[in-house]
Amino acid sequence: KEDIYILAVESSCDETAASVVRNGREVLSNVIYSQIDLHTLYGGVVPEIASRKHIEKINQVIEKALSDAGITLQQVTAVAVTYGPGLVGALLVGVSAAKAIAFAAGKPLVGVHHIEGHISANYIENKDLVPPFICLVVSGGHSHLVVVKDYGEYEIIGRTRDDAAGEAFDKVARAIGLGYPGGPKIDRVSREGNPDAVVFPRAKVDGSTYDFSFSGLKSAVLNYLNSCEMKGIEICQADVAASFQKAVIDVLVGHSMEAVSQYHLKKFAIAGGVASNSALRAAFEEACRKNGLEFYHPSPIYCTDNAAMIGVAGYYEYIKGTRHGWDLNAVPNLKL
Ligand code: KG4
Ligand code: ZN
C-alpha cells in the first residue's frame, strides 16, 4: 500500500504551525512558530497582530515542515488546514496558504475542525487508541466533554456556559500578578502552594450534568483578593493559585468520571492546552486508576496548538473521503 503524507497547516490563534504526518499517526515534522512573546506585552492575544505575524511566517513554517520531513510538495498526498473555530483573520491566513499550495501542486484540500485536531493529538503517541472513548478538551477557547464515537464522529455532551477553562487560568493569573500566559505560570507556582488553603466554589450548572461554568469561580477569586486587600491581609500567591487550580480540576474530573460511567466507556482522554497541566494530569491518572479506566493524554507539545494534530485529524478525514473546494472559507464559530 502507498504511504499517505498529509501536509497540515494551523493558524487559528497565536501559533503559526505546519507539519507532515505519515499514515495518520507518524509525525515526520512539527514546526511551531509561537507568537506568545509578541502578545505578552498586551496581556493577551491581539487578533490584528496575530494575523499580520501569521502572514509573515506562514511560508517559512510550511517550507520548514516539508524540509524537516525530508519530502517535497509533490510527494504530499493531501493538504489539511484548520478552518475553524478561531480568530477569523488568523484562520484566513492558514486557509489561504493551504488553498494556494494545494491548488498549485494539484493536491486535494481537507478542511479540519480545530477541536477534532486537539482530540486527534491523542492518536500520535497512543498507537493502540481507537474510538469509542470520551475526551475532555480544555483549552484557551474551549471546554468540551466529547463522546468520540468513531473517527470524525463526535457528540458534545458538556460545554462551558461562560469562560473556557484556560481562559479562567489566564484571568486568575493576571489577577494574582502572574501575567500572561497564565496557565503554565499557575501550574508552576501551585507546586509550592496549599490547594486547601482557600475554599473556592465548585459550580454546578442547572439542568445539565456535564456543562461547566468557570466565571463564578473567577469572581470568587477576585472577591477573595479584594477582601484581603481591604483587610490589609497579604495574600499567598502560591496558595491562591493552588486552591483555584484544585477547584477547576475537581469539577473537570467529577464531570468526566460521571460521563464515562454513564456512557459505559472504558477509555478516557484529555486534550487542549490545559491538558498539559501537571496537577490535572495527576488527578486524572488517579481517578482513572480508581475507576479501572485506560487514561490517554498527549505530550505537552501536542496539547497546545500545533499542526501535527491537524495532520492526524486530516488523515482520518481524507481516508473517509472529505474534500473541500477552492471556496473553503474560515469559519470562526465552526461547529463540531
Ligand atoms: O490549546 P491551546 O494552545 O489554544 C487554544 O486552542 O485555546 O490552549 C491555550 C490555553 C491557555 O489558556 C493557556 O493558559 C492554557 O492553555 N495552558 C495551561 C497550561 N499550559 C497552557 N493551563 C494550565 N496549565 C498549564 N500547564
Ligand atoms: Zn487549540
Ligand 1 contacts CB of residue 170 (under 6 A): yes
CA of 195 to the centre of ligand 1 (A): 20
Please state, rounded to an integer, the average pLDDT across all residues of the chain.
96
**What are the binding residues?**
114, 118, 137-141, 170, 183, 187, 277, 305
Is 190 close to ligand 1, i.e. is its CB under 6 Å away? Answer: no
Percentage of the residues of the chain whose pLDDT score is greater than 70: 100
Kindly list the structural domains of the chain, giving each domain's residue range(s) and its CATH number in brackets, ordered by start.
5-121+306-320 (3.30.420.40), 128-298 (3.30.420.40)
**pLDDT tens for residues 172-210?**
999 999 988 899 999 999 999 999 999 999 988 888 889
Q: What is each CA distance from 62 to 18, 101, 146, in whole angstroms?
A: 5, 10, 31
Helices (H), the chain: 36-40, 47-69, 88-105, 114-120, 122-125, 165-175, 182-190, 215-231, 237-262, 278-290, 300-303, 308-320
pTM here is: 0.96
Task: Give one word for 264, left, alpha or beta, with left for phi > 0 and alpha for psi -120 to 50.
Answer: left
ipTM: 0.98
14 lines ligand 1 (CB under 6 A): no
**Residue ranges of E strands in 126-218:** 133-138, 143-150, 153-159
* For residue 40, pLDDT beyond 90: no
- Using the atom order of ligand 1, give the atom closest to the CA of residue 167: 12
Q: How confident is the model at residue 41 (pLDDT cuts 50, 70, 90)?
A: confident
Residue 193: name the closest of 235, 148, 242, 147 by CA.
242
Reported as a pLDDT band with limits 50, 70 and 90, residue 132 is very high
Residue 286's pLDDT is: 98
Q: How far apart are CA 66 and CA 18, in angstroms?
A: 9
Three-class SS state of 7: strand
Whether 10 is in the pocket of ligand 1, judged by its Cβ within 6 Å, is no
134 close to ligand 1 (CB < 6 Angstrom): no
Determine the residue of 135, 169, 284 to mutate for testing ligand 1's pocket, defined as the one with the most ligand atoms within 8 A of the Cβ atom.
169
